[in-house]
Structure 1
Amino acid sequence: MAVSKKQLVLDTFDSKTTERVPVGFWFHFAKDEMADGLADPNVIEANIKGHEKLVNSFKPDFVKLMSDGLFNYPNEALKNLNSAKDFANIKPLDPNHEWFRKNVELVKKQISLLPEDVATFYNLFAPSTTIKIAFGFYGADKKFADFIKEDPDAVAAGLNVIADDIAKVARSVIREGGATGIYLSAQSIQDWRIGEDLYKKVIAPAEKKILEAANEESAYNILHVCGFEGSRNKLEWFKDYPAKAVNWAAVVEKVPLAEGKKIFEGKAVIGGFGNTVNDLLYKGTKEEIQAEAKKLIAEAGRTGVILGADCTVPRDISLDHLEWVREAAE
């Protein structure tokens, strides 16, 4: 008797032998995923409807629960970060702030739409990415790097406060919301001045804190090393992060699944395909896509491997292309 999709994915995370290689892809569902869902409930509603459409049409092997509409960490102090010393002004959110409640409510609604028992992982952003979102993302890395160079200890302290609040969300969406785990999106600072030593001193502790909090609630959590719009990362900096599985931009980083398995020894790996309109998954033929899927499996093996993409796939991608990958994986 075939195991459930959820058990299939959990067994893969545990690097057990499975009857087939699972497949997972994910989308942004709101028209503007960066929009403030606390101010405009329609953003949250679009997110929920998007999940419903996906799970009823593609029937994924697991679901990455998107946090579209709740990307923005609503801490007023982030609007006034003009120097490194301002990071000392970052204080925890009020425990009763609606942002905490809205995240749990969103996860509950998303999971209630699932027609079958599948593993679910809620998208959260690392504190450093949260800062970059607050800075408007474009050009944020240089500004952030300036602050780190100015006073790394002050920045680290501020990130630690943010991590505590995000860790609270991580715990609650698993314990109260019913998610299997979290999908934590992290990214190196895209500035040559922030090398490994500074990253591990200033950035990494806050990121690990969130994963450690999630691990207290569930053994199954995912680290995403984000290659959004061609951002590059030193994957070796993340190899000791306490996550059960890792997803990175295999195409952008030019680090295929087989090589990533060596870097992230003992962890399951997710991905393999590029996620843009210029990549094979979007524009390839059935024969091309299925040949690539089989090649990825042949290289990386059948245990501890989930086929997916570098990051979110284009909203208008044909679901047939995703199904072709699953057919090949079977």
Structure 2
Amino acid sequence: MTKKERVIAVIEGREADAVPSSFSLHFPAHEAVGDAAVEAHLKFFEETDTDIIKVMNEHLVPCYGMIKSPEDYYDKIPVIDRSSDFIADQLEMTKKILDRADHDAFSMGTLHGICASGIHPLEKMGETYNYSEVRQMQVDFLRWDEKKMLSAMQKIADGMCVLAEKYITEAGLDSVYYAGLGAETKWFTDEEFERWIKPLDLQIMRAVKDAGGYCFLHMCKNGLNMKRYDADYAVLADVVNWGVYEAPMSLEDGRKQFPGKAVLGGLENRSGVLVDGDEAAVRAEVRKIVAEFGRKGLLLGADCTLATEQDRKLVRAAVEEARNL
């Protein structure tokens, strides 16, 4: 099987000739965008030999001015479409990467979900606006003026739908990695998530499917209420990935929550053997994961993106061992 055939077989519940793998990391700032990012991606793919080539996305919804209230957010977030610079730049970079990457591999583009994309304009207002602060601002603004905030977030979601569609129909990717946030119990209540986040999540995931791509649902951060990702999410997801050690939820429990869906994961991303081990330890852990979970429906990967300084030889060892199983 080619890498792409192997991945699709697992996604579709068929027997594959080996366990495919997918790993990614955030490249340093000087290699995050433009031609430098193209070269960084290609080098990573060559050094790790993953079955899935995942295009990262540092072309985020930009800052459109200082936002201090829901009114500011509503007034300053514009209509986002194909002509928006950050979407055009991401598509251009993606096409350059795919032109030179392994054409036998399965390809995937990163898309930041509505919760993350909604805070990016706030994060970029200045160095003093850190992650926790802007997450709290988002929650406070929604509680303060739900109507204005949701109107502005709808414009962002519509723009993410454009990116999702163009990833598949224009750039030629096989799939979209939808990085969801919002299920952490620290921020939204269950009812708030259901009313504010879920409908826009589903809209964007549906755009992936409507464009003909496979949808990978990534459920990020710690302290998650995984029950928020219910059957409505499952029907639109082809593959699920979450922080096994953060949520917490085991691979087996995840398989029960998302029956019939392929699972991506198994290894910790910022600790464990990929950080503290050697190649022998990595290979042993991969064998253990596959033995416990089984080959069917498994794509080996990590909870989330690896650290920028990750030893790529250890990633290569994991990929090779999985391919032998």
What TM-score does the superposition give when structure 2 sets the normalisation length? 0.89
Contact 2:224–2:248 (8 Å) recurs in 1: no
The one-letter code sitting in structure 1 at the alignment partner of 2:68 is: N
1:74 to 62, 82, 92: 62
CA–CA distance in structure 2, aligned partners of residues 96 and 259 of structure 1: 42
CA–CA distance in structure 1, aligned partners of residues 25 and 148 of structure 2: 36
Q: Secondary structure at the match of 1:306?
A: strand
Q: Secondary structure at the match of 2:8?
A: helix
Q: Does 1:205 align with 2:199?
A: yes
Q: Secondary structure at the match of 1:236?
A: helix
- How far 1:75 moved relative to its partner? 6.1
Moved more, 87-96 or 161-170: 87-96
CA–CA distance in structure 1, aligned partners of residues 39 and 208 of structure 2: 27
- How far 1:74 moved relative to its partner? 3.2
The one-letter code sitting in structure 2 at the alignment partner of 1:177 is: A
- How far 1:190 moved relative to its partner? 4.8
1:220-250 deviations in whole A, cap 9, x for unaligned? 12111112xxx33222212332121111111
Q: Does 1:131 align with 2:122?
A: no
Contact 1:155–1:202 (8 Å) recurs in 2: no
CA–CA distance in structure 2, aligned partners of residues 283 and 295 of structure 1: 17
1:11-37 deviations in whole A, cap 9, x for unaligned? 11112111111111111224268x7xx
CA–CA distance in structure 1, aligned partners of residues 160 and 246 of structure 2: 28
- How far 1:87 moved relative to its partner? 4.2
Q: Secondary structure at the match of 2:104?
A: coil
CA–CA distance in structure 1, aligned partners of residues 219 and 173 of structure 2: 21
CA–CA distance in structure 2, aligned partners of residues 152 and 132 of structure 1: 15
The one-letter code sitting in structure 2 at the alignment partner of 1:126 is: G
Q: Secondary structure at the match of 2:132?
A: coil
2:106 to 119, 122, 126: 119
Matched-pair identity in %: 26
Give the direction of change, closer, same or farther, for the CA distance of 1:191–1:142 in structure 2 (3 Å limit).
Answer: farther
Q: Secondary structure at the match of 2:246?
A: helix
Superposed counterparts of 1:258-277, under 5 Å: 258-276=252-270
CA–CA distance in structure 2, aligned partners of residues 94 and 168 of structure 1: 6
- How far 1:95 moved relative to its partner? 4.9
**What residue is the counterpart of 2:158 in the other structure?**
164
- How far 1:183 moved relative to its partner? 0.7
2:26 to 25, 28, 53: 28
**What residue is the counterpart of 2:128 in the other structure?**
none
Give the direction of change, closer, same or farther, for the CA distance of 1:266–1:156 in structure 2 (3 Å limit).
Answer: farther
Superposed counterparts of 1:117-196, under 5 Å: 117-136=104-123, 137-188=131-182, 190=184, 192=186, 194-196=188-190
What TM-score does the superposition give when structure 1 sets the normalisation length? 0.87
1:308 to 289, 301, 320: 301
Q: Does 1:294 align with 2:281?
A: no
Moved more, 136-145 or 82-91: 82-91
The one-letter code sitting in structure 2 at the alignment partner of 1:179 is: L
Contact 1:12–1:305 (8 Å) recurs in 2: yes
**What residue is the counterpart of 1:40 in the other structure?**
none
Give the direction of change, closer, same or farther, for the CA distance of 1:293–1:147 in structure 2 (3 Å limit).
Answer: same
